Structure 1
Amino acid sequence: MLRSIVKRRLRMPLCHRRTNAALCTINVSASTDHTLPAQSSRQAASEQGRRFVSEDSASPSISAAEMSKFSALAETWWDSRGPFKALHLMNPARISFIRSVLCKHFRKDTCCARPLKGLHILDVGCGGGLLCEPLARLGARVVGIDAVEKNIKVAAAHAVKDPLTASIKYLCTTSDKLVGEGYEQFDAVISLEVIEHVTEPKMFVESLAGLTKADGSIIISTINRSISGYFLAIVAAEHLLQWEAELGL
């Protein structure tokens, strides 16, 4: 099902596997039709004036059970030894991959301190902001969205602690809702470890494509669906951090 939507609307130049997780980058063809309904000036002004938006985030692609589970864990997002330990461990490798892919695609200087400056990036399923904050520190203008209101509140509260991340815009909504509202498109749309939690993968990928500019980039990742895949991802991430520490990276 995913293959058909990608083949019809997108071209996929590469697929990487890292720490037993599948990471896929999709560069959107310039010929792809992304015509969206116009956003009213009143709505646009309202969106710009709010730090984050809380709204009914029900969506046909979002599982109510998954939303309930993540809502219960919301306060633990920034606990590196808590339920999201695996994501904290994988984050350095994920950020390195994303930085490399986007710098190559948009011909950015990888040697500068903020190589993603000038890029407008959407993080779909942002959780507590573990990805949004590093992207902002690398210079990107970042919008993070999540269907769970508690996640958005935690992310927004954490972001204001650092001037480099205080500008991140958080919205409690879903990608399909943004498409339906005619929301602006982004240079890059990223969704990490989210697609395995949605009930309609095809609809989800279509919504990501609808939020991406022509010649933009979409990055999707998911851990292999097995117990061994989950634990191998954690072990590999732990070894990676240990090696980086030993090498002084």
Structure 2
Amino acid sequence: MGQLKTPAEINAMRPAGKFIASVLVSLRDYAKAGVSLRDLDAHAHALIDAAGAHSVYLGYHPSFGAIPYPGVLCTSVNDAALHGLPSDYVLVDGDVLSVDFAAQVQGWVADSAITFQVGTPTAAATKLIEATEKALAAGIAAARPGNRMGDISAAIGAVGRAAGYGINADFGGHGVGRTMHEDPHVPNLGRAGTGQKLKPGLVIAIEPWFMAGGDEYVIDPDGWTIRTADGSIAAHAEHTIAITKDGPIVLTARDS
């Protein structure tokens, strides 16, 4: 189920959520053609230091990673869907960039992701990004007491399938609290009315990621970067939300 948070604990998570949102807005403004992924990581690192926050990515080393994570951001470009490493790659006009960011503030973690186009937008990428954001909104709307985890998963999957996009449920959302990854897993595909019952106090990251082609993915030799198997573009959207008796609260909501 994952540990349920009290209303006071959910309130204590708000500064982390606000910080994550502000950094993502800053990164979206900073990411231009000519900027490298390492530049983006350094920009985020400076914001973390200035806020007295703590990176939960840097040095993170789960079993699947060939190396400890070397940055404070996941920056995934074009066919990279998740967990893209900071590198010397320089953004060019038309790139599709997903930025995933989590950090700890005052002992609590929040996690969020956005996807946007660098410079000139294309119709195909715009449609994919909009569908991913629509799926995130649908998943959040289903995160209500009395519903089940499968209702969130089914809502996300329905949007992606209706748009004709590839979906893979191996990587999805998760519980959030004192650490970045807690129980439960939040799949991006599922059957409504199944899974654990949602209760007030559950804090989860909901994160659909869709592929413009098929459902299959490959993982780079670094053990981190997940790419579409067919080379199609991908998009990722994520918010940390708290389920309350009155419905979901988006802790990482952005002002713009």
With the shorter chain as reference, the TM-score category is: under 0.3
Q: Give TM-score scaled by structure 2 length.
A: 0.26
Q: Which has the higher strand share?
A: 2
Higher RCO (C-alpha under 8 Å, 6+ residues apart): 1
| Higher-helix-fraction structure | 1
